[in-house]
């Protein structure tokens, strides 16, 4: 049995739900029922059949509606692994840090290409960090205070799932000086990120090894499953860039969040219109059950 969760950015009417049911049936699946999770916002459609075909049919719905299709029995996850930049926060930290060095366009172009999967992530990271050599260490904290903003829905998602027994890991190809305070503010159990080398109060232009790359992100997911004695189906991974693809493919539910094309193609589900709270509806948790400090 599968469940397709519809989450509207603006409004979800009964006509939208009826059309979605028709599309599920047209995709060759058997609709077994539907329910409104939150009036005007979210609904579930239950079915048996081919999940990929149903997902494709529902993603063609008109309007700003996100669709998450998954097995009904494992919709509430027990392990969550998430990217940070442009996923749990609204910016790419290295790009904003580069702005304080006066070289944001130069670095942002490389970041964009790396996130699209056009460049090796580790080599691109080393090259960008090298350009920051000599930047005053104080600019890290200034950048974090002035530029870092938590992604809408992030606190509700992590804190609600954590309260319900889900282990949460923030794993970032960015830097600990940003990721650790972000992880603490949002409420993650564990934070993994790269360490910038600093000497005499300035960035050295290097990063400590091993670099947190796509392989490390996947490893964090796999180790979490082993440590918690979980089936892969009980896990969810969320990211936006090409370096998130391995962990997205390894998770029970891999989610592309406002993501690059390669990441969208690799994911089981994607959030294109709304914020991270859409994943709470996907877990079957309505707003009255959300936790957020």
Per residue in 226-259, pLDDT (tens digit) is 999 999 999 999 999 999 999 999 999 999 999 9
Provide CATH 3.40.50.1000 ranges for the chain.
76-293
Q: How far apart are CA 169 and CA 184, in angstroms?
A: 11
Is the pLDDT at 51 greater than 90? The verdict is yes
The crossing angle, in degrees rounded to 10, of helices 104-115 and 93-100 is: 170
Mean pLDDT across the chain: 97
Is the pLDDT at 39 greater than 90? The verdict is yes
Mean pLDDT of 267-276: 97
Provide CATH 3.30.70.260 ranges for the chain.
1-75
* Residue 38: per-residue pLDDT: 97
* Residue 251: per-residue pLDDT: 98
Q: Fold for 1-75, please state it.
A: Alpha-Beta Plaits (3.30.70)
Span 157-215, pLDDT tens digits? 999 999 999 999 999 999 999 999 999 999 999 999 999 999 999 999 999 999 999 99
Decide: 214 and 121 in contact? Cβ < 8 Å: yes
Is the pLDDT at 7 greater than 90? The verdict is yes
Which residues does the annotation mark as catalytic? 83, 85
Mean pLDDT of 22-30: 97
Indicate left, alpha or beta for 163 from its phi (over 0: left) and psi (-120 to 50: alpha).
alpha
* Residue 33: per-residue pLDDT: 97
Is the pLDDT at 293 greater than 90? The verdict is no
Reported confidence tier of residue 95, pLDDT bands at 50, 70, 90: very high
Strands (E), the chain: 2-12, 30-38, 40-48, 65-71, 79-82, 167-175, 190-194, 196-199, 202-207, 235-239, 253-257, 269-271
Overall CATH class of domain 76-293? alpha beta
Q: Helix and strand tally (H, E) in the chain?
A: 12, 12
Is the pLDDT at 268 greater than 90? The verdict is yes
Rounded to 5°, angle at Cα 269 from 266 and 271: 110
Mean pLDDT of 90-118: 96
* Residue 11: per-residue pLDDT: 93
Q: How far apart are CA 26 and CA 24, in angstroms?
A: 5
* Residue 157: per-residue pLDDT: 98
Decide: 256 and 270 in contact? Cβ < 8 Å: yes
Reported confidence tier of residue 68, pLDDT bands at 50, 70, 90: very high
DSSP three-state, residue 195:
coil
């Amino acid at each position: 049995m599968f469940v397709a969760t519809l989450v509207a950015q603006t409004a979800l009417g009964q006509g939208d739900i009826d059309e979605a049911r028709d599309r599920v049936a047209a995709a060759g699946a058997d609709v077994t029922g539907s329910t409104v999770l939150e009036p005007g916002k979210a609904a579930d459609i239950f079915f048996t059949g081919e999940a990929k075909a149903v997902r494709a049919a529902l993603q063609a719905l008109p309007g700003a509606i996100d669709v998450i299709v998954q097995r009904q029995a494992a919709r509430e996850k027990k392990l969550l692994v998430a990217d940070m930049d442009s996923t749990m926060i609204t910016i790419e930290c290295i790009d904003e840090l580069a702005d304080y060095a006066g070289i944001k366009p130069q670095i942002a172009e490389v970041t964009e290409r790396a996130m699209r999967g056009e460049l090796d992530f580790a080599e691109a990271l080393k090259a960008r960090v090298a350009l920051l050599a000599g930047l005053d260490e104080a600019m890290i904290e200034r950048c974090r205070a002035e530029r870092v903003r938590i992604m809408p829905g992030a606190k509700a998602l992590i804190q609600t799932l954590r309260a319900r027994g889900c282990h949460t890991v923030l794993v970032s190809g960015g830097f600990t000086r940003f990721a650790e305070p972000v992880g603490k503010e949002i409420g993650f159990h564990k934070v993994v990120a790269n360490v910038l080398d600093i000497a005499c109060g300035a960035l050295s232009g290097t990063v400590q090894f091993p670099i947190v790359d796509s392989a490390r992100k996947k490893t964090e997911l796999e180790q979490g499953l082993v440590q918690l004695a979980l089936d892969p189906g009980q896990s969810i991974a969320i990211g936006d860039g090409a370096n998130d693809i391995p962990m997205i493919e390894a998770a029970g539910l891999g989610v592309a969040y406002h993501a690059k094309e390669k990441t969208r193609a690799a994911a089981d589900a994607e959030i294109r219109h709304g914020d991270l709270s859409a994943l709470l509806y996907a877990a079957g948790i309505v707003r009255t059950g959300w936790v957020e400090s």
